[in-house]
Amino acid sequence: MGLQLLKRTNKTSKLKTVLSPVTCSPPDVILRKKMLLEDINRTRQALETAYSKFQYASDPELVDCYIYEIKSVDHRYKYLLEQLRKLTV
């Protein structure tokens, strides 16, 4: 029970570190950058996948669907890049 609570607390503190203001100690900044970079890479892959699906879509409804997906993922990608920029300034 105590070990599980400790694990949950560690996960919670890591999440708080990522969501906390930029005033972090150097190890926290490194962890936050690493997590942001991983999320940016996943988002970039999702964007490439959405563009690929859009390219091969022939049904007008699917074309619309992929356009919205591309816009959504693109907004997330730009947001993550901005967060990384703020962290490195």
Q: pTM for the whole thing?
A: 0.66
Query: Cα angle vertex 15, ends 35, 69, to 5°?
Result: 60
pLDDT at 51: 97
Containing domain of residue 8, as a range? 2-88
How many structural domains does the chain have?
A: 1
Question: Per-block average pLDDT, block size 10, for the chain (89 residues)?
Answer: 45 51 72 96 97 96 96 98 92
Output the six-digit token pair for 1: 């029970």
**Would you call 45 exposed, middle or buried from its count of C-beta atoms within 10 A (0-12, 13-18, 19+)?**
exposed
